[in-house]
Amino acid sequence: MACVADKQANIEKAVALIREAAGKGAQIICLQELFASEYFCREENYDNFSLAELVPGPTTRRFQDLATELKVVLLASLFEKRTKGIYHNTLAVIDADGTFLGKYRKNHIPDDPGYYEKFYFTPGDTGYSVFCTKYARIGGLICWDQWYPEAARITSLMGAEILFYPTAIGWAVSQPEAINKQQYSAWQTIQRAHAIANGVFVVSVNRTGREQEMNFWGGSFIADPYGELLFEASHENEEVHVEELDLGKIDEVRIHWPFLRDRRIDTYGPILNRYIDED
């Protein structure tokens, strides 16, 4: 969905879209990263801290009631105010009976032109998380986490059947079209690789629309454990899509491609180094 400056208007739009998805048969519904506002991290502005809220808090309580009514699982990415001076980019997970299952706080925090997230967010301290919902065991990671195979691997090893990535990523208005295509392709490719390497489904949910000098590239997609695209949204349009996922396919893929079986965990110690320097 595209967002506007009015936080309450975004929440009401999200509620309407959740109802639409549930009406189409959705059981697990994921909203994009920081859906309740425009992507405020494009600038360093102290006023934006007023957008933050407690998690659980007013928005999660609203969604708990909605989840109970519709019997759906909800994943909602929120700007969390943990305490005075400590804020997180947080994914709240609500089960189909309205139970607040917990939250995942974004681990990888970017700091690039147009994405000044280190100004706002403290790195996550929840560890990687898997939530046993009514319909599936799901893992939640957030945007910049998408680029890190370690995050996908650990979450999969914890038993996730579906990796959800709520996202806010786009192109600078001034950027050449050739670069746009390269960036989107890389973004999708690495996440499809997570699906293949771990034998899981990947659901990536991005925002769309223009905000200041940024065109958010939409392109939300779903990949199966073979990395095959089951769905790909347009770049420009708001869309609600429901896809039926056969979780039995996970075992099928892992039997034929036993990557988890053949992992040489005794050789992976060097991954804990920032960089492996020459002697």
- Nearest CA to 90 out of 141, 38, 131 is that of 141
- 6 pLDDT more than 90: yes
Q: Is 143 a catalytic residue?
A: yes
CATH number of the domain that residue 80 is part of: 3.60.110.10
Q: Please give the Cα distance from 103 to 95 (Å, whole number).
A: 12
Percent of the chain past pLDDT 90, that is, above it, reads 99
* Domain membership of residue 37 as a residue range: 7-263
- 189 pLDDT more than 90: yes
pLDDT of residue 278: 84
Strands 28-30 and 73-83: parallel
The answer, as to whether pTM is greater than 0.85, is yes
274 lies in some domain: no
- Nearest CA to 20 out of 191, 240, 172, 257 is that of 240
277 lies in some domain: no
Which of these is catalytic: 3, 7, 33, 80?
Answer: 33
| Residue entry with tokens 């347009």 | 234
Q: Please give the Cα distance from 129 to 160 (Å, whole number).
A: 9
Residue 45 CB contacts under 8 Å (≥ 6 apart), including other chains = none
Q: Tell me how far apart the 2 most distant CA atoms of the chain are, in Å.
A: 62
Residue 94, Ramachandran bin (φ over 0: left; ψ between -120 and 50: alpha; else beta)? beta
| Sheet with 73-83, side-by-side order of all strands | 28-30, 73-83, 86-94, 100-105
122 lies in some domain: yes
Give residue-wise pLDDT tens across range 53-74: 999 999 999 999 999 999 999 9
Calculate mean pLDDT across residues 215-226: 98
- 45 pLDDT more than 90: yes
* Sign of the CA dihedral with 181 first, then 109, 276, and 263 last: negative
132 lies in some domain: yes
278 lies in some domain: no
Calculate mean pLDDT across residues 77-104: 98
Mean pLDDT, all residues of the chain: 97
90 lies in some domain: yes
Which of these is catalytic: 106, 117, 161, 211?
Answer: 106
| Tokens, residue 220 | 């939300």
Q: Is 53 a catalytic residue?
A: no
- 243 pLDDT more than 80: yes
Q: Is 7 a catalytic residue?
A: no
Q: Per-residue confidence at 201, pLDDT binned at 50, 70, 90?
A: very high
Number of domains in the chain: 1
Q: Please give the Cα distance from 139 to 131 (Å, whole number).
A: 6
Calculate mean pLDDT across residues 243-265: 97
DSSP calls for the chain: ----S-HHHHHHHHHHHHHHHHHTT-SEEEPPTTTTS--GGGS--GGGGGG-B-SSSHHHHHHHHHHHHHT-EEEEEEEEEEETTEEEEEEEEE-TTS-EEEEEE-----EETTEEGGGT-PPP-S-S-EEE-SS-EEEE--GGGGG-HHHHHHHHHTT-SEEEEEE--EEETTS-HHHHHHHHHHHHHHHHHHHHHHT-EEEEEE-EEEETTEEEE---EEE-TT--EEEE--SSS---------THHHHHHHHHS-TTTT--GGG-GGGGSS-----
Which of these is catalytic: 3, 30, 41, 143?
Answer: 143
46 lies in some domain: yes
Calculate mean pLDDT across residues 97-123: 97
163 lies in some domain: yes
pLDDT of residue 279: 73
Instruction: Please name every residue paired with 167 in a beta bridge, in sequence order, or none if there are none.
Output: 206
